[in-house]
Amino acid sequence: MDKLIIKGQNILEGSVTMSGAKNAVLPLMAAALLVDGKTIIHRVPDLRDTRTMVRLLEILGAKIKFKNHTLEIDGSTVNRIEAPYELVKTMRASFYVLGPLLARFGQARVSLPGGCAWGPRPVDFHLRGFKLLGAVIELTDGYIQASAKKLIGNKVHFEVSSVGATGNIVMAAVLAEGVTIIQNAAREPEIVQLCEVLNLMGSKITGLGSNTLRIEGVNELVPAEVEVIPDRIETGTFLMAGAALGKITLKNTEPEHLGIVLEKIELSGASIQISGKNITVEHEGPIKPVNITTDVFPGFPTDLQAQWIAFMALASGSSIIKDTIYHDRFAHVSELVRLGAKIQMENNVAIVHGVEQLKGAQVMSTDIRASASLVNAALMAQGKTEISRIYHVDRGYEKIEEKLKFLGAEIWRESE
Instruction: Catalogue the active-site residues.
Output: 116
**Shortest distance in whole angstroms from residue 273 CB to ligand UD1:** 27
Closest residue to ligand UD1: CB criterion: 164
Three state DSSP letters for the chain: CEEEEEECCCCEEEEEECCECHHHHHHHHHHHHHCCCEEEEECCCCCHHHHHHHHHHHHCCCEEEEECCEEEEEHHHCCCCEECHHHHCCCHHHHHHHHHHHHHHCEEEEECCCCECCECCCCHHHHHHHHHCCCEEEEECCEEEEECCCCECCEEECCCCCHHHHHHHHHHHCCCECEEEEECCCCCHHHHHHHHHHHHCCCEEECCCCCEEEEECCCCCCCCEEECCECHHHHHHHHHHHHHHEEEEEECCCHHHHHHHHHHHHHCCCEEEEECCEEEEECCCCCCCCCEEECCCCCECHHHHHHHHHHHCCCCCEEEEECCCCCCCCHHHHHHHHCCCEEEEECCEEEEECCCCCECCEEECCCHHHHHHHHHHHHHCECEEEEECCHHHHHHCCCHHHHHHHCCCEEEEEEC
Q: What character string, x for contact with ligand UD1 (CB under 6 A) and - otherwise, covers 178-197? A: ------------x-------
Can you tell me which of 125, 300, 311, 330 binds ligand UD1, judged by CB under 6 A?
125
From the list 161-169, 243-251, 387-395, 405-413, the region that binds ligand UD1 by CB under 6 A is 161-169
Query: Contacts with ligand UD1 in 85-114 (CB under 6 A)?
Result: 92-93
Minimum distance between the CB of residue 52 and ligand UD1, rounded to whole angstroms? Answer: 11
**From 9, 19, 52, 162, residue interacting with ligand UD1 (rule: CB under 6 A):** 162
210-249 binders of ligand UD1 (CB under 6 A): none
Q: Which is nearer to ligand UD1, 93 or 270 (CB)?
A: 93
Beta carbon nearer to ligand UD1, 99 or 354? 99
Q: Quote the least distance from Cβ 302 to ligand UD1, whole Å.
A: 5
Supply the minimum distance, in Å, between the C-beta of residue 381 and ligand UD1. Answer: 26
* Distance of closest approach, residue 55 Cβ to ligand UD1, in angstroms: 16
Q: How many CB atoms lie within 10 A of CB 79?
A: 9
* Residue nearer to ligand UD1 on the CB measure, 125 or 330: 125
126 or 247: CB nearest ligand UD1: 126
Closest separation between CB of residue 393 and ligand UD1, Å? 14
Question: Binding-site residue total for ligand UD1 (CB under 6 A)?
Answer: 20
292-311 positions binding ligand UD1, by CB under 6 A? 302-303
Q: Which is nearer to ligand UD1, 122 or 317 (CB)?
A: 122
Among 6, 165, 173, 192, binds ligand UD1 (CB under 6 A): 165
Judged by the rule CB under 6 A, the positions of this chain that interact with ligand UD1 are: 23, 26, 92-93, 121-126, 160, 162-165, 190, 302-303, 325-326
